[in-house]
Amino acid sequence: MKQRIAVLAAALTAVADRVAAAARETPNAVATFHARPLGAPVDGSLAVSLLVVASGDRAVEFEIDPAASSVQFSHGGQPVGWCDIPDLPTGFVMPDAAGLGGVRRRAHVEPGAHGAIAFDVRASAGASAVSMRIVGWLPEALPDDALPARFSVQTEETPIETA
């Protein structure tokens, strides 16, 4: 009996691995977030940009929760401080100044499109890199999940320019 269960478990794992690989190769709707410092800190203040890039077969929709999101500072891969994301007056904006939403209203970002939100924060002393924890809601969820579905992502660290 144990051998049959092990064979069944191995077969289910193989199927799950194939489904996961297919999903990664042909995503439905994906939003990738990036944190970027905009120059060096000036008088302890750092201008940063939160970027979103959409990919997949259809537009991605989401809304970020600035009150639950934060900016993290690090040096040599070790945390040195963090701060809340300030109240954001607008959502993501494309290079042609078209608004994409994402703050206080649902963002709708077509595959291949990108937008940014820029704001100033107080930089932590000794920080050499910045990243962000972005929290928000998705209007769609898995069948057993509550709507709207919460999400939380961590951007990669990006070096901060020195003056």
Indicate the pLDDT class of residue 27, thresholds 50, 70 and 90. Answer: confident
Domains and CATH numbers, the chain: 28-159 (2.60.40.10)
| Per-residue pLDDT at 4 | 73
Tell me phi and psi for residue 112, to 5 degrees: 90, -15
Q: Name the DSSP class of 66.
A: G
Contact 122, 82 (CB under 8 A): no
Q: What is the pLDDT of residues 75-116, one digit of tens each?
A: 999 999 999 999 998 999 999 999 999 999 999 999 999 999
pLDDT at position 23 over 60: no
Judge contact between 130 and 8, C-beta under 8 A.
Answer: no
Query: 29-62, pLDDT tens digit by residue?
Result: 899 999 999 999 999 999 999 999 999 999 999 9
> What are the residues whose beta carbons fall under 8 Å from the beta carbon of 57, sequence distance 6 or more?
26, 27, 28, 29, 111
Beta pairing, strands 114-122 & 45-56: antiparallel
